[in-house]
Amino acid sequence: MEKNIFEKIISKELPADIVYEDDISIAFKDINPQAPIHILIIPKKRIEMPEQITNDDEVVVGHLFYVAKLIAEKLNIKNGYRLVMNNGESAGQSVFHIHLHFLSGRKLSWPPG
């Protein structure tokens, strides 16, 4: 299977502005930000869509949310942030490797989309 753009960032074949990395995940600034702070948090394990998450992925997926908390602390974000994970093209998923969008730095409206 051909590597997607996120796997190329994980393997350092493509550059990224990395803000966090550990054995399970990597987080980097989105190249097309939708907010002043827009970071993508991705697992190093390839899971194409949220609907493909299995019970075996519970630790990996939970870890992404923990990383979001660490990033908020690192960036001293006290006024809130939004976490978004899209499932499928109709929901806005353009890279088929699950990822959390970490959005902050402005007042976010509701409902999104």
Active site residues: 99
Report the distance separating Cα 49 and Cα 28, nearest Å: 19
Best CA proximity match to 79, nearest among 36, 42, 21, 32: 36
Best CA proximity match to 46, nearest among 3, 92, 91, 89: 3
Residues 5, 62, 64: CA angle, nearest 5 degrees: 35
